[in-house]
Copies of this chain bind each other. A is one copy, B any other.
Amino acid sequence: MASKYMEIYKDLKSQIETGVLKPGEKIKSEVDLCKEYDCSRMTIRNALDILSEEGYVFRKKKVGTFVLNHVHSHNRTIISERELSGLTRSAKNVTSKVIKFEVNFVDQNVALHLNMKKSDPVLYIYRLRYVNGEPVILEHTYLNPRVIPGVTLDVAEHSVYRYIEETLGLRIASAKKVTTAQPSNEDDHKYLHLKDTEPVLMIEQVAYLDDGTPFEYSLARHHYDKFEMTMYSLRRKEMSHK
């Protein structure tokens, strides 16, 4: 079904996650893996490249490939660097209450991000989102209705992303995110039950379809104590010389 390197990637990842391959351990060399999986070296490298980008393994030039230890965290919900959907894909029990649902003229900032003109209409959705029954995110969403038509109140109450992919058959491919800390405002106090000394973790996002069209601009204000953003950065080889 999937490609060969994807199968190998999944296999190795699961071996790491289940502890068959232990942190610090050296895994087989690329040539040995070729034999084991009966494929060419490039296929193995494709798989190892993904594992390395995701922080599962670490490659030491001229020495070998090693399992990296995964330190994981606290009581917060983890928003991964690779997560594209607002929420519904990562967390389990997500429900939403729609606070506002209206069509406006697009403002300048949103128009810029969504590549729209000043006089274009935009769908604005303001939702309170619950995880396991607890109100934890206040989310402002701006959708381009020419790209994503037919979003109803019912869709907004559930998952817009699922509607886009499953009903419209479009593919969400990438997202740009900017994360900041913000003092809480009146709505945060009211809906997220925050004190005025307690902040939100704000994630501003522009999401793109698989043809490069930006379709959504959103501001998601997360309860500071319930979310964290994790990422793994890998420096490229020659980058330091520049």
Stretch at the interface among A81-89, A123-131, A144-152: A81-89
Closest 8 CB pairs of A and B: A199-B199, A181-B181, A181-B201, A181-B224, A179-B229, A181-B199, A58-B212, A2-B238
Give, as a whole number of angstroms, the nearest-CB distance from A179 to chain B: 4
Apart from A63-B211, A68-B212, A178-B230: 12 A-B pairs, beta carbons within 8 A: A6-B237, A24-B212, A60-B212, A71-B176, A73-B178, A82-B235, A176-B233, A177-B233, A179-B231, A180-B224, A181-B200, A182-B199
Known: A66-B212, A183-B199. A206 touches B71 (CB 8 A): yes
**A175 CB–B CB distance under 8 Å:** yes
Q: Which of B172, B227, B232 contacts A174 (CB 8 A)?
A: B232
Q: Does A8 contact B (CB under 8 A)?
A: no
Cβ contacts under 8 Å, A171 to chain B: 240
Given A196-B197, A208-B58, CB of A235 within 8 Å of CB of B172: yes
Given contacts A42-B42, A180-B224, contact A232 B199 (CB under 8 A): no
Q: Which residues of A contact B (CB under 8 A)?
A: 1-3, 6, 24, 42, 50, 53, 55, 58, 60, 63, 66, 68-69, 71, 73, 76, 81-84, 112-113, 115, 165, 171-184, 196-202, 206, 208, 210-212, 222, 224, 227-238, 240-241
Which of B112, B175, B230 interacts with A176 by CB under 8 Å? Answer: B230
Q: Min CB distance, A17 to chain B, in Å?
A: 13
Can you name 14 A-B residue pairings with CB atoms under 8 Å? Answer: A3-B238, A50-B236, A58-B212, A76-B180, A81-B81, A84-B235, A165-B240, A173-B235, A174-B234, A179-B229, A180-B228, A181-B181, A183-B224, A184-B197
B183 touches A71 (CB 8 A): no
Q: Kindly provide the distance from the CB of A70 to the nearest chain B CB, expressed in whole angstroms.
A: 9
